[in-house]
Structure 1
Amino acid sequence: MSKSFDFRRARPWEVALTVFALSAPMLLPLATPGENGFIRKAVAQEMQQVDSSKLVAIGGAVTEIVYALGEGGRLVARDSTSTFPEEAVKLPDVGYMRQLSPEGVIAVNPTAILAVEGSGPPDALAVLKSAGIPFETVPEGYDRAAILKKIDVVGKFLGVPDKAKALETEVAADLDAAIADAAKRPENERKRVLFILSFQNGKIMAAGGHTAADGIIGLAGAINATEGAFEGYKPVTDEAIIKGKPDVIMVMTRPGAGSSDEEILAHPAISVTPAGENKAILRMNSLHLLGFGPRTASAIRDLNKELYGNVSQ
């Protein structure tokens, strides 16, 4: 009959060896590549990739990034703001990104959905998420870092992180060059820009801080005429417009919408600003200018050229 092991008299190394021997049978099944091994499960979960072979992209920048990554073949539908590149327009349109119909999205039978932050309405998103379709929200933002983050999130969701990293490097270099050129303009030469989102019945809704318009104006070497007054897009008073002293009024080109230059310039507050006196109204493509996607460096250069007549070299 064997003697029992006396822990009180054992040397430390003997205790450690005994504990290992006793516990090994319990630990081994967990570490082995069997069906119940935790390492096997962890690896399997890490390697598991969302099926994005039939993808719906919501948000112009998101769709552009998918194509820029060379993954446009996965797309089965897009929202109405996704009009670049040309191939995107041929896809079924599931509606405006902020007024989505879940039935319209589900009807194209997607295996995954990529939607930029701010898409909605919330109840529509709740229906889509509850339908069991993998859903990824791409964070919105209006600066260099935000653009690169969008590319990173889309690339990882599609399972092409290496392609995303290469695109980030390319886009970052282009952005850095465009921003650096615009930043060369002296502060005292920078124009003040009033971005008008809507003009109806003499009422003006303008862009404040933390908006795409505010972001692109700053990157292009200009100043938002409403700087520091408010955030988001809000109605502005005549007094605020006059106080802002805009040198340029910027509005977006929208087919069949908006007011004429004459109507805007005739506004009592605008007419007495430098922009009104010089009849300085600038109209630009909203999706290109405010998308904050892979083409933003081009948008910075375009706006800088429109404002100042040339681009620094």
Structure 2
Amino acid sequence: MSKSFDFRRARPWEVALTVFALSAPLLLPLSTAGSQGFVRQAVAQEMQQVDTSKVVVIGGALTEIVYALGEEGRLVARDSTSMYPREAMKLPDVGYMRALSPEGVMAVNPTAILAIEGSGPADALAVLKSSGIPFETVPEGFDRAAILKKIDIVGTFLGVPEKAKALEEKVGADLDAAIAEAAKRPESERKRVLFVLSFQNGKVMAAGGHTAADGIIGLSGGINATDGAFEGYKPLTDEAVVNAKPDVIMLMDRPGHGSSDEEVLKHPAISLTPAAANKAILRMDGLHLLGFGPRTASAIRDLNKALYGKTGNVSQ
């Protein structure tokens, strides 16, 4: 006759093994085909337990999504890129998304933080994440799928997945229509667009692949003049600018800041391009154009019209 198991004298690993053996019959049903639904439900319940009554949002696109979901009442602060809708400007500003101060964010006593990927600096994020305040990072991306994923993550984090699903369907349909219309432009007629972020020591800082500028140019029926030669933003040599042969020079609209159209066209390299010959300078709202949020379908239509519609010298 075997002796009964004495928990008081057992070693820790023996206790753990015994507990697992006794609980296995209860856990077995959860490993069936239906267990995935159980896990998703458990994750959803856990997310809903996060207190999102006072949220700091970092990233203009995320702020737009929160407002589009009708959940702006939860926001207690925003970063400086969150300038749309105008009502958001009334919220306290915790600073630029890439130069955050942990003290500034925590000063508004948030119960949760929602930040776009790429926010920083890293040491500031480390402090915020170690503070115990729930911190959700939303992946950045520059296509249709990325926009819908942002909406899904924000909606789930705020505990309003039904609202998020409805917004995804609406935004997705609008994007499909705008992209399909721009795609009708024959390849032979598509304009080469050089997006200039800034001028540094006389060098053109241009957009390469895997950037918001590259994404919106492609979706709008244009061609990034850098032809995927590099990723991110990079200063170009004068030779590289000339060889890019841009039909249009595109910049962000910054009233009172940056170079004038005349100064841009007189740049030693730009002056030798088709864009300069046609005086094709295009300036657009950076947040609207590069935000990749709920308004991106509108940005696609606006850029397509600016490039090919009857909108002055750019469309000539």
TM-score tier (shorter): 0.7 to 0.9
Gaps of 5+ in 2: 2-18, 28-38, 312-316
CA distance in 2 between counterparts of 1:114 and 1:284 reads 27
Please tell me whether Structure 1 or Structure 2 has the larger radius of gyration of its CA atoms.
1
Contact map agreement 2:44 2:156 (CA 8 A) in 1: no
Does 2:83 align with 1:83? Answer: yes
Instruction: Give the letter for the 2:189 counterpart.
Output: E
- How has the CA–CA distance of structure 1 residues 228 and 44 changed in structure 2, closer, same or farther, with 3 Å as cutoff? closer
CA distance in 2 between counterparts of 1:263 and 1:201 reads 14
CA distance in 1 between counterparts of 2:225 and 2:284 reads 18
CA distance in 2 between counterparts of 1:138 and 1:45 reads 17
Instruction: Give the letter for the 2:306 counterpart.
Output: E
Structure 2 counterpart of 1:7: none
Which has the larger displacement, 295-304 or 197-206? 197-206
CA distance in 2 between counterparts of 1:197 and 1:154 reads 29
Structure 2 counterpart of 1:191: 191
Structure 2 counterpart of 1:177: 177
Structure 1 counterpart of 2:94: 94
Aligned-pair CA distance for 1:28: 11
Instruction: Give the letter for the 1:47 counterpart.
Output: Q
Alpha-carbon deviations, 1:33-87, whole Å to 9, x = none?
xxxxxxxxx8777523210000000000000000101100000000000011111
What is the TM-score when the length of structure 2 is the normalising length?
0.84
Instruction: Give the letter for the 1:176 counterpart.
Output: D
CA distance in 2 between counterparts of 1:228 and 1:44 reads 43
Structure 2 counterpart of 1:117: 117
Three-state SS of the structure 2 residue aligned to 1:133 is coil
**1:47 counterpart (39, 45, 58):** 45
Contact map agreement 1:304 1:310 (CA 8 A) in 2: no
Structure 2 counterpart of 1:137: 137
CA distance in 1 between counterparts of 2:74 and 2:239 reads 51
CA distance in 2 between counterparts of 1:278 and 1:267 reads 15
CA distance in 2 between counterparts of 1:142 and 1:110 reads 29
Counterparts in 2 of 1:149-168, with a 5 A limit? 149-168=149-168
Aligned-pair CA distance for 1:211: 0.2
Three-state SS of the structure 1 residue aligned to 2:262 is helix
Aligned-pair CA distance for 1:30: 6.6
Three-state SS of the structure 2 residue aligned to 1:256 is coil
Three-state SS of the structure 1 residue aligned to 2:206 is strand
How many residue pairs align between the two structures?
Answer: 280
Contact map agreement 1:242 1:269 (CA 8 A) in 2: yes
Aligned-pair CA distance for 1:152: 0.5
- How has the CA–CA distance of structure 1 residues 129 and 27 changed in structure 2, closer, same or farther, with 3 Å as cutoff? closer
Contact map agreement 1:216 1:300 (CA 8 A) in 2: yes
- How has the CA–CA distance of structure 1 residues 208 and 44 changed in structure 2, closer, same or farther, with 3 Å as cutoff? closer
Structure 2 counterpart of 1:218: 218
CA distance in 2 between counterparts of 1:78 and 1:94 reads 6
Contact map agreement 2:203 2:238 (CA 8 A) in 1: no
Three-state SS of the structure 1 residue aligned to 2:105 is helix
Contact map agreement 2:205 2:234 (CA 8 A) in 1: yes
Structure 2 counterpart of 1:245: 245
Structure 2 counterpart of 1:298: 298
Aligned-pair CA distance for 1:274: 0.5
Instruction: Give the letter for the 1:146 counterpart.
Output: A
Contact map agreement 2:113 2:135 (CA 8 A) in 1: yes
